[in-house]
Amino acid sequence: MEFLNTFLPIILYIVAIILLVILIVLALRLIKILDRVEEVVDNIEDKVNSFNGAFTVINRASNSLASISESVVTTIGTVVSKFINKKNKRKDD
């Protein structure tokens, strides 16, 4: 029994040391993986930012097309309403 009382704590300490070393190794690998992921994310961010100019041009073009189409629709609506009002005035006379 005395053998187990002295041998069992030694085995537990050895297992704890091994577990601690394994956890340290895993933590170091995780840090390396996170550094690689950060590099990839930075690379992707740079590539996406390179498209900002194109998106700005597309946005300006769509805004100008929207304003042109709005003015055309407003003009057509005005012409149609004047035409309808003239017909209504002729019928009233």
pTM score over 0.75: no
CA-only gyration radius of the chain, Å: 38
Q: Per residue in 16-49, pLDDT tens? A: 999 999 999 999 999 999 999 999 999 999 998 8
pLDDT band at 4 (very low <50, low <70, confident <90, very high): confident
